[in-house]
Amino acid sequence: RVKYITLVNLLSTDALDDSDLTPFDPAQPGAENIPFPEYLTSEDKSAQIASHVVEWLTDETARARRVDQLVRLKAEVAHGGASSRAAEYILGHLAARSAPASRPHYLSPATNREVVGH
């Protein structure tokens, strides 16, 4: 169990243990370090979510703080090029392989008799 479910929030916190699984509260200490508030409940939290959105749209400082958090997080964890590196790795291993087997790994009984000569 974890307190957050979005990747950006999980990457933004050091508290990944289950010692504090209380629901997100914007008044809680450290809440400002969580980029996107999460309300993991079946209750209607549209007013709280709207409050965050309105703040980001009307308070330039609050919006800039969130953008800065995301820029720092991206610089820390997103290094790009993973697909290219993976493709190069796979192609390198395929090129280094020995010649393919001259016959299938499994031969049907009829084919096996033909190969062996029985």
End-to-end CA distance of the chain: 63
Q: Shortest CA distance to 17 belongs to which of 4, 39, 28, 2?
A: 2
With helix as H, strand as E and coil as C, how does 14-58 read? Answer: CCCCCCCCCCCCCCCCCHHHCCCCCCCCCCCCHHHHHHHHHHHHH
pLDDT at residue 16, rounded to an integer:
67
| Full pLDDT tens readout for the chain, 118 residues | 777 888 888 888 876 667 777 777 878 888 888 888 888 888 999 999 999 999 999 999 999 999 999 999 999 888 888 889 888 988 888 887 766 666 666 667 666 566 565 5
Q: Can you say how many angstroms the Cα of residue 37 is from the centroid of all Cα atoms in its chain?
A: 18
